[in-house]
Structure 1
Amino acid sequence: MLGVLLLVFLLMILYIWIMEQHRYWVRKNMISRKVVPIFGDFFLVLLGKESFNDLLFRIYKKFHYARYIGGYRLLTPILVVRSPEIIKQISVKEFGSFMDHMRLFPENKGDLFSKNLSQLKGQNWRNMRSILSPVFTSSKMKGMFVLINHNSQSFVQHFLDRDHHTIEVQFKDTFRRYCSDVIANTVFGLDINSLNDRGNEFYVMAKNASNFSSFRRKFVFFLYYLSPFISKMFRISFTSGEEQSFFVNFVKDTISLREDNNIKRQDILGFLLQMRKQHNEINDESEITKSQKSQRIESDLTEMDITALLFSFYLAGVDSTSDGMCFLAHELALNPEIQKKLIEEIDRNRSDSVVVSHETISKMPYLDMVISELHRKWPINVATDRVVTKPYTIQPELPNEKALHLDIGTNIVIPIYPIHHDPKYYEEPDKFDPERFAPENKKNIHPFTYMPFGIGPRHCIASRFVVLVMKSVFFYLLSHFEIVTVEKTKKLLKMNKKSLSLTSEGNFDLGLKKRR
């Protein structure tokens, strides 16, 4: 009997503690909202009944009158910011007070996911960002564009070799394989040819590593968000041992091969090895000050650092870029007048040499407009985030507001997709309209309401690379084909509620109709 009473007492204490966690925003003088105990606002997301984007959109529209809304990711308070003016303060003007991203993966030094650039904090992030920034300069992009073009031409040739006048294609799988091929080539210097080699080991292993909807991954997410302390104490890893070993050994062998044979390539691994060599050559203590030496040591790239960076570039690039390509193909098929105008621009810029140059593809205004509108309607990231790194106060402006004092460690979410689809900022937001980004119309876009790759110093460092890959493949694809609807094409897309990113449940069944 005593044991039962003790258990009931402990459960009551636990319940009171949980409910107190969900009163965080009430204590900050904000309106109270009912949430599910323990799960907060994420109950339906964890059940797979609602996507993260659905959750954000629901909150965004329900509190249309507010500049910000308090919510809970399980027991952790989050602040959803709707106001472009506050977004400007957070991401740019007061960046020093909001320097870090939220930690999405368990903190485990041996886990590749926990060491990627978005997860680094403070000075560690600054050091790594300064190392990586030269990798994505215009000159480096020109060098990599040769590799990108090679994969794009091979991709299109894969369909030109077929005899059919109109070819039915499941673009979800097809574009994913193209992105795997081009990113493996430009990141690792690896020719995996997954379009033809369907069971390629590298492709299969990477696909498994990027499957965030598996039961194991969901459990790791849940446990980490419920108790980061437990995840850290037991060194719980987001990456499986098999995946970790495969990529670590692959990069190690590739680095050894290049260094032993003095192989130099214009790819991301090549640039990182070149920078590491330059850092290592600065080893004469008489030539550097103590502070310079300290900074140099902090900036050194270990083999594990390189592996984690390449791993994150590959996985993040493949899924997000291929999803964007699927959405663009779908929009062009459903909007033939837009596709016709884009094809006309491509035809004007095609040369007898067949290969398009970096200079030419960078000066195609309508292609720019189409890609910009794609990322407005179907942004690569449905949201971005920040963590408060210095105490900050949001001053009241509306009648029902009070000063909101943000504590260090508070998580902030910026809902990109809902803002991109707010009719207050974009008329007919569900319409695919590249003219929004025509030179004469761009000035009408409200500042800090267009941010497909994030915003401020912590925006996606590889955004130009992603855009370049998209431009290249659609340039060559539309040079030879028209993208058309087929019997299986779904006019209205149904989003995958179990995915963290913006992706459709369907296969994106479309047709490629030969133009010549």
Structure 2
Amino acid sequence: MLAVLLLIGVFSLLYFLVTKPFKYWDHKNVPTGKIWPLIKENILVMFGKTSIVELIKKIYNNVEGVRYIGIYQLNTPILVLKSPEIIKQICVKDFDHFLDHGVMFAGDSSNLFSRNLLVLKGQHWKNMRATLSPSFTSSKMKSMFVLICNIAEIYAQHYVNKKDKIIEIDFKDILARYTNDVIANTAFGIQVDSLTDRENEFYVMGRDSTNFSKPWRKFTIFIFQAFPSIAKLLGLKILPDKVNDFFLNLVQDTIRMREEQNIKRPDMLGLLMEARKGQGKEFQTEKIEEASFAAVKEHLEENYTKLDLTDFDIASQVFVFFFAGFETVSTAMCFMAHELAINADVQRRLIEEIDENKPASGAPSYEIIANMEYLDMVVSETLRKWPINIATDRVVTKPYTIDPELPSEQPLHLEPNQNVMIPIFAIRWDPQNYENPEKFDPERFSSENRKNIDPYIYIPFGVGPRNCIGSRFALLEMKAVFFYLLSYFEIVPVEKTNVPIKISKSNITLTSENGFPLGLKRRNQ
């Protein structure tokens, strides 16, 4: 009898320890919906049995008619925001209570991830953001535009020189190489030709740094997210040492050479070297009109201390510029190419606008590209339907209360270190936010319609002061390559093109299961 009672006691204790963490949101009167199926979905994502996109949508749709819901990452409670008003309140109005992102990559201070804007916290982040912001204005992007156009033209001419009427290519491969070469040139200041030198070291290292489809790398990220202290104890690293050392040495050697030879170049490395010297500190040197709906507004930080940037600081920022742009931006361009291929009417109208704006000789100006209305509409709709980031997060840094508005709510008190999630993809695919969200419709972003879009359900580059500092660069990169490609070709479906797209289950980012096989059909000009 004693043994039975002891056994019952042990099982009761285990049940209490296992279930107690999952009562957190119940005690706060926060709706959770079905908890265990979502935990199962997390495991399926880790093993490539379902896509991260499907998980985000299931989390968002788990409870309807509410402004927020509670979920658990393992036993860690996370608040998921559904209301654009609360997103604005948390990420903009009361931003000082939500300064930080969650623990992304724990690790030693020698890793390039340790000092970049994505992971810095608190006042240190404020200081770094304010120090770097003058280097990312539209006037500074204009100085890099010629470099971007040169590479976009090289890629277009590569296919112009081929004899085939329809050239079948995997756009994922070609646009990843284009992005690689653009960032190599505009960020690191080196010339790379990944079309002909297909296994050059810069491309190989970049590809390795952003490939998260392998089970071990997905498991490593899972450990970082769920058990950051264990990840640090085990010495796990998101970035392999060989990749970290390659980019760090490349930046340090380039800085040393430029300083010794007094070389000045209008690239990202040059701008950051100017920022270190206190040059280029004006926030905007000239007023440049631009029609980019997706470009974020820079929030000027007044309470900050200008940092003395070290070589390591500069290397960290330049690397994350590459890391954030290599995979995500090239994939966004792939989705845009796919949508143009299967929406011939949209592509025809875009080609007409390109032909109207094509200069008689030479490259288009920054102002031409930045103010092409229909091109911006197509890019904006691409980023609406296929967002670069499928979700973002914030962490409570000071106690905060969400006041009730609905009858079912009560004051929700959030304590420091509480995780908050914004499910960007699911918000964009919610028919209450966008009519017929699965349809690719650039008219949503016409000059007449864009004023009706709530900016807090359209956040392709994040929201509030912690938005993406490189949004203008990413938009220029996208617009330039399509300007040149569509000057000579139509993008068409081929036999291997999947319609509709099959979302990858093996990757933790949004991409296609089978690449992006499409054709370049020579235009009759």
TM-score, reference length from structure 2: 0.90
Note the C-alpha offset of 1:310. 1.2
Deviates more, 1:176-185 or 1:42-51: 42-51
In the other structure, the counterpart of 2:296 is none
From 359, 365, 371, the equivalent of 1:351 is: 359
SS at match of 2:278: helix
1:105–1:11 CA distance, 2 compared to 1 (3 A): farther
The one-character-per-residue Cα deviations of 1:66-95 (angstroms, maximum 9, x if unpaired) are: 111101112221111101111110111111
Cα offset, 1:364, TM superposition: 1.0
Q: Which residue of 2 aligns with 1:387?
A: 395
Pairing partner for 2:305 from 295, 318, 331: 295
Amino acid at match of 2:171: F
Distance 1:382 1:14 in 2: 36
Of 153-162 and 269-278, the range deviating more from structure 2: 269-278
CA distance in 2: counterparts of 1:13 and 1:109, whole angstroms: 40
Q: Is this contact kept in 2: 1:382–1:502, CA < 8 A?
A: yes
Distance 1:51 1:8, change over 3 A: farther
The structure 2 residue matched to 1:396, chosen from 398, 404, 419, is: 404
Query: Counterparts in 2 of 1:88-99, with a 5 A limit?
Result: 88-99=88-99
- Match of 1:487, as an amino acid? E
Structure 2 residue aligned with 1:337:
345
On the 8 A contact 1:40/1:74 being kept in 2, the answer is no
> 1:108/1:75 Cα in 2 relative to 1: closer, same or farther (>3 Å)?
farther
Between 1:484-493 and 1:343-352, the stretch displaced more is 484-493
Task: Tell me the CA shift for residue 234 of structure 1.
Answer: 4.2
**Deviations, residues 16-67 of structure 1 (Å, cap 9, x unaligned):** 4343222221222224545349957622222222233211211212312111
Question: What residue in structure 2 maps to residue 209 of structure 1?
Answer: 209
Separation of aligned partners in 1, 2:246 and 2:67: 46
Tell me the equivalent position of 2:493. 485
Distance in 2 (alpha carbons) for counterparts of 1:398 and 1:128:
39
Aligned equivalent of 2:52: 52
Contact preservation (8 Å) 1:39, 1:75: no
Change (3 A) 1:447 1:175: closer
Q: 1:468 to 1:10 in 2, by over 3 A?
A: farther
Q: Could you tell me how far apart the structure 1 residues matched to 2:359 and 2:32 are?
A: 63
What amino acid is the match of 2:433? Answer: Y
Q: Deviations over 1:133-169 (max 9, x none)?
A: 1111121111100100000000101101101111111
What is residue 74 of structure 1 aligned with on the other side?
74
- Report SS of the residue matched to 1:484: strand
AA aligned opposite 2:111: D
Shift of 1:196: 1.1
* Superposed CA offset, 1:183-220 (max 9, x none): 11110011111111111011111111111232332232
Q: For residues 14-93 of structure 1, what are the structure 2 equivalents within 5 Å?
A: 16-31=16-31, 33-36=33-36, 42-93=42-93
Judge conservation of contact 2:33–2:63 (CA < 8 Å) in 1.
no
Greater shift, 106-115 or 139-148, is seen at 106-115
Alignment match of 1:506 (pick from 487, 490, 514): 514
Distance 1:137 1:40 in 2: 44
- Describe the SS at the equivalent of 1:80: strand
- After superposition, give the CA deviation of every residue in 1:440-465 in whole Å (9 maximum; x if it has no partner): 11122134111111111111110111
* Structure 2 counterparts to residues 44-193 of structure 1, below 5 A: 44-193=44-193
**Does the C-alpha gap of structure 1 residues 11 and 200 become closer, same or farther in structure 2, counting only changes over 3 Å?**
farther
Say which SS state the counterpart of residue 509 (structure 2) adopts. Answer: coil
Q: Quote the residue 1:457 is aligned against.
A: 465
- Partner residue in 1 for 2:332: 324
| CA positional deviation for 1:385 | 1.1
- Residue type of the partner of 1:208? D
1:425–1:36 Cα change, 3 Å: closer
**In the alignment, is the contact (CA less than 8 A) between 1:379 and 1:417 conserved in 2?**
yes
Aligned to 2:232: 232
How far, CA to CA, are the matches of 1:14 and 1:128 in structure 2? Answer: 46
C-alpha distance in 1 between matches for 2:398 and 2:257: 45
Secondary structure (helix, strand or coil) at the match of 1:188 reads coil
Cα contact 2:32–2:69 (8 A) shared by 1: no
Residue type of the partner of 1:270?
A: G
Contact residue 40 and residue 73 of structure 1 kept, 8 A:
no
Structure 1 residue 102: deviation in Å? 1.3
2:483 to 475, 485, 491: 475
**Compared with structure 1, are the counterparts of its residues 114 and 52 closer, same or farther at alpha carbon in structure 2 (3 Å cutoff)?**
farther
Identity %: 52
Q: What SS is found at the alignment partner of 2:329?
A: helix
Matches of 1:245 and 1:256, distance apart in 2: 16
Gaps of 5+ in 2: 280-301
Residue 505 of structure 1 deviates from its aligned partner by 1.0
User: Does residue 428 of structure 1 match 2:414?
Assistant: no
Shift of residue 175, structure 1, vs aligned partner: 0.5
Distance 2:217 2:308 in 1: 31
Shift of the 144–65 alpha-carbon distance from structure 1 to 2, 3 Å rule, reads: same
| TM-score, structure 1 normalization | 0.92
CA 1:147–1:28: 2 relative to 1, 3 Å: same
1:220–1:238 CA contact under 8 A, matched in 2: yes
What's the offset of the Cα at 1:321?
0.8
Q: Aligned partners of 1:157, 1:317: CA distance in 2, in Å? A: 23
Q: Is the 8 A contact 1:70 1:77 kept in 2?
A: yes
2:52 maps to a residue whose letter is F
Distance 1:497 1:94, change over 3 A: same
With over 3 angstroms needed to count, the CA separation of the structure-2 counterparts of 1:385 and 1:141, relative to structure 1, is same
What amino acid maps onto 1:295 in structure 2?
T
How far apart, CA to CA, are the structure 1 residues paired with 2:385 and 2:496? 23
Q: Is the 8 A contact 2:168 2:517 kept in 1?
A: yes
Q: Which amino acid aligns with 1:358?
A: Y
1:365 pairs with 2:373 = yes
Deviates more, 1:484-493 or 1:153-162: 484-493
- Quote the residue 1:306 is aligned against: 314
Q: Deviations over 1:347-371 (max 9, x none)?
A: 1111112310001112211111111
Aligned to 2:286: none
Q: Is the 8 A contact 2:333 2:478 kept in 1?
A: yes
- Compute the displacement of 1:430 (Å): 0.7
Coordinate RMSD, CA, aligned: 2.4
